Structure 1
Amino acid sequence: MNTLRTVFLMTLLTLVLVGAGGALGGRGGALIALIMAGVMNLGSYWFSDKIVIKMYRGREVTEGALYDVVRELCLRGGLPMPKVYILPQPTPNAFATGRNPKHAAVAATEGILQILSREELMGVMAHEMSHVGNRDILIGSIAATIAGAISYMAHMAQWAMIFGGRDDEDSNPIAMIAMMILAPIAAMLVQMAISRSREYEADKGGAKLCGNPFYLASALRKLEAANSRSPMPKVNEATAHMFIVNPLRGKGGLKSLFSTHPPVEERVRRLESMTIG
C-alpha cells in the first residue's frame, strides 16, 4: 500500500512539474529548472554519506553494541554491511544515508544508546536498514529534484514579470501569480507526503527484519518523548527528514501537512497491529 502511495505521489509531483512548466517557464524553462535542481541534488545524493556524517561530526565504530546490532541485522537480512557511526549528541535519534546499499551508512546518537534496550535498538536500526534496502535516499532525491525545479520556475517567472518577460497576449497575470504561489506549495506538500509514506514503509520493513514490531514501537515512544523534552540542537532542516523521529518540533493542524514524519502515535498503532508470520 505504501509503495503504491509513493508511486501515486511521485506521479502527482511530476504532473505538477509539467503543469507548472507550461504555465511558468514553457518547455525550455522547465528543462533548465530541472537541470539546475538535478545538478544540486545529484551532488547531495552521491556524497550524502560523507556530507551528512561530517555535518553531525559522526565517529565511525567497528565494534560495540551499535555495530553488533547492525551486523546481526545484515546477516539476518542478507544485506551489505554499512559503515556505522555514533554522533556526539545527547538527544536520542538515528538515521541512514548513502546512495545505495553498497555505499550506505547508519548513524545513531550517543543519547539513543543510553535509553534504549538492545531489542529497541535493534528495532530502530532495522528501520534504518529498511530505508537503505528500499533506496529511500534515491526516492527522496528525485522528489527533491522535481520540487526544486518547480520552485526554480516560480522564481524565474517572478523575475520575468518584474523585468517584463513573457508578455504573451494569452497570458493571464493573475493566473501567473497564483501559479507562482500555489505550485511550489503543492510540490512541497507532495514531497512531504512522499517522505511520510517512506517512513511507514521503513517501519513495516524494519519490523519484519528484526522479527518483532513491538521492539520498534517501544523505541519510537521513548524517542518521541525524549525529543519533545529536549530537541536536538543545531539541526539542519534539509536533513531533518532523515532521522527516525522528527528532530524539529511542530505537531498537529497545518504543521502536520508540512511534516516529513507521520505522527508517532499512528506509527506505533500500525506497528502494534502488525502480525509477522
Structure 2
Amino acid sequence: MNTLKTFMLLAAMTALFMGLGYLIGGASGAMIAFLVAAAMNFFAYWNSDKIVLRMYSAKRVDETTAPNYVGIVKQLAARANMPVPAIYIIDNPQPNAFATGRNEENAAVAATTGLIRMLSPEELAGVMAHELAHIKNRDTLTMTVTATIAGAISMLANFALFFGGNRNAGGAIGAIALAILAPMAAGLVQMAISRTREYSADRGGAEICGNPMWLASALERIDEAARRGAPNEAAEANPATAHMFIINPLNGQGRDNLFSTHPATANRIAELRKLAEAAGTAQRRPWS
C-alpha cells in the first residue's frame, strides 16, 4: 500500500513540476520539466537519504564514539527483527530526530546532540523506536523523496515567478498564481501524509520499545524544548524536510490543521497514554 502511495505522490508532484515547466516555456517547457522530473525521481529514489543527511551535516557514529546511543538503537533493531540502520548524530542543540532511506537494508537514523543530552535512556529508546517504525513501514522512502521533489518544485516556482511565465499560459498573473499554488499544493500533500504516518509510527514505536509512556514523556519534553529553544537554522534553510523530524523543527506549535507538518503533540501523547493503559504499561519501567 505504501508503495502505491509513493507512486501516486510522485506522479502528483511530477504533474506540478510539468505545470510549472509549461508556465515557463509552454509545451517544450513542460516536456523538459517532465524529463527533469523523471531524472530527479530516479536520483531521489537512490540518493535522497544521502542528500538529507548531508543537508544537516550528520556524522556517522558507532559504539566507540557514541556507545549508549548506538547500543540503544541496536537493541531496538533486534527487538523489531530488522537490520541495524546506519546511525548518525547531528550537532544541533534542538532536540529532534529523523529516519531516512529507501528500505530496511538501506536506512539511517539521526538524532541531534540536543536530543541525546536531554533525554533519559528510556525516552531516547522511545524516540528511536518511533524512527525504526518509520523504516519498517517504509515511510522513509516517501518522506525523503517528497522532501527532495518538494524543494525542487518550490525552486522552479520561484523561477517562474521571476521570469513572469509564458504569456500564452496566462501571463504574469498566471505565473504568480502557479508560483504560489504549486509549492503550496505539494506542501499540503506532504503535510497530510506526514501527520497520518506520525500516529502510525508512534504506535509502532511503542510496540518496539515496549512502553508507550517512554515516547509520550520524550515528546512532551522535546515539544517544550522546541517551543523555547533557538531555531534550527539548517531546517529553516531546508523547510521541505520539516516533515521528516519527530517534532516540527521549524517551530514547536503544530496543530492538527491543513497546514501542519505534524499532529499536535498533545494529541499524540493522549493516544500513547491510551495505548499504555490498554497494555498495562502506564508505569514506566527502566530501559534494559
TM-score bin (small chain)? 0.7 to 0.9
Partner of residue 88 from structure 1, selected from 87, 91, 105: 91
1:268 aligns with 2:269: yes
Partner of 1:192: 191
Q: Match for residue 58 of structure 1? A: 59
RMSD of aligned Cα (Å):
3.9
Deviations 1:46-83 (A, max 9, x none): 33444444433424122521111111111111101112
Code of the aligned partner of 2:121:
R
Identify the residue that residue 46 of structure 1 maps to in structure 2: 46
Contact 2:213 2:272 in 1 (8 A): yes
Report if aligned partners of 1:37, 1:148 keep a CA contact under 8 Å in 2: no
* Residue 284 (structure 2) aligns with: none
> Conserved in 2, the CA contact under 8 Å of 1:97 and 1:104?
yes
Residue in structure 1 matched with residue 101 of structure 2 by the alignment: 98
How far 1:250 sits from its partner (Å)?
6.0
Greater RCO, CA 8 A, separation 6+: 1
SS of the residue aligned with 2:242? helix
Separation of aligned partners in 2, 1:240 and 1:130: 18
The corresponding residue for 2:72 is 69
Deviates more, 1:148-157 or 1:54-63: 148-157
How far apart, in 1, do the equivalents of 2:93 and 2:160 lie?
Answer: 45
1:240 pairs, out of 239, 242, 246, with: 242
TM-score (norm 2): 0.73
Query: Is the contact made by 1:160 and 1:166 (CA closer than 8 Å) also made in structure 2?
Result: no
3-state SS of 2:233 partner: coil
TM-score, normalised to structure 1, is 0.76
Q: Which amino acid aligns with 1:243?
A: F
Q: Map 1:57-206 to 2 at 5 A.
A: 57-62=58-63, 64-144=67-147, 147=150, 162=165, 165=166, 167=168, 176=174, 178-206=177-205
Which stretch of structure 1 is more off in the superposition, 126-135 or 57-66? Answer: 57-66
Q: Which amino acid letter does the alignment assign opposite residue 182 of structure 1?
A: L
Count of aligned pairs between the two proteins = 269
* Aligned residue identity for 2:270: R
Give the Cα–Cα distance (whole angstroms) in 1 for the partners of residues 68 and 19 of structure 2.
50
Output the amino acid matched with 1:241: H
Amino acid at match of 2:229: S
Residue ranges of structure 1 left out of the alignment (5+ in a row) = none
> Do the aligned partners of residues 251 and 37 (structure 1) sit closer, same or farther apart at CA in structure 2, a change above 3 Å counting?
farther
Structure 2, unpaired ranges of 5+? 281-288
